[in-house]
Structure 1
């Protein structure tokens, strides 16, 4: 029943955000007991019966066709990501649950080479559940300089970007507009949960954050979804001060689960200078490991 409830909750939250005037329906000024459209209004827009749509929201109807889902999505004014999430939830409700513990994630050698090839551009690789699987030197310096740079190499000790955003004061202080960054993390995690309902580690992560962070719990309950493809953030770094970066999330070829996150700055800007300074102050020492031999006596 939990899977159908997720589908119903998503439909209810999206319906509550629409007003009659948003979808071309008359508003006669009557008082509404709940915000947004009524079920019968949404059903009318989608071309389905009110009773069928009510059963769908209440988890009493399984297996809506793709065409019906598309019609409901159009009526709700869903964007592409939300429409895909709606189909994922409906497909999830039909599938039999197979509980399993996913294997540890890894990064292939080609992706590790790419992290090094981007040079001083901060970069990291995140996994399905937003675990940091690898980062380059500048990526570590920008996003998590207070952590051991070697920790992504240990599957049992990897940093998790969602945990850092909601539970780590250092990471929270990095973002001038923390709520914007936090919402992006939650909305992306929601999409992943829709695609992988039987991932026990992902479920445990969501449960943990829901209990430990009221902010996370409130954002999660909103059921918004969006991919973290590209966004601009103002950051306050403890070593180099304020800088504005655009974080790009790229998918490695033929890899649906992992993302390469790059932080780039505008050429010639103070932010680019700050990033270069950060790269310089965190660079390994150029001094030789052993002193050069002195002149022979």
Structure 2
């Protein structure tokens, strides 16, 4: 399945079904994909297309799809995985090993390329520790190149709370190399990397990016060379650059379209985009309630 086909499906379902119905349909489609058809979606899902509106039904469905794709990733690795229906103050998915006695919670993250100001709250590492509950591991999944490149509190939080900082690209590499959990292969070492790295990290270095040792550990586990791993990352980086160029073209076309607007249409579009009528309605509702409660006219 191509990524643009998935986005078209999201747009169609957003206008023809309830959110619950659309989510169920998307889960059915994704889980019915073969591994070959599913693979192209893994590294694309971490970037929200600019054509999907902020706070729209489509964006909420896109977030739901990222949960489904994360569950499918664990499924393809040989674990049982389900998408959790409750999204408030909880992880996105639960997964359980078939052969080994462990379970985990996972949280899927996707970001827009146009949103550069990300902070520790966007990653919710400490929340991931809380959401672990009775499970053995807690796995945060973000786009590899969207993690902070140098010093960040999220690295100390991950090391202190044993939260796995995983990536969509990691899943792609694992599945491309046909990794799968069996009676002899236990994947729990992948979800326990923060604990492994923490033992070799001084307090002074805990805010430093730990992907260099983690990448090395994953290579050793998979029995692939550092060069092979870096070759994978290079392809992902090139794909991300191409994706960025496509998103830039989207906004350039939007600028060209706006430049053709009449004065009246431009004003109306601005009023809508700033949600001015919604703001007025919200204030009116509040002040009307005060008038009613206190007998004011």
Normalising by structure 2, report the TM-score: 0.23
Higher Cα Rg: structure 1 or 2?
A: 1
Structure having greater relative contact order (Cα 8 Å, sep ≥ 6) = 1
Instruction: Specify which structure has the higher proportion of helix.
Output: 2
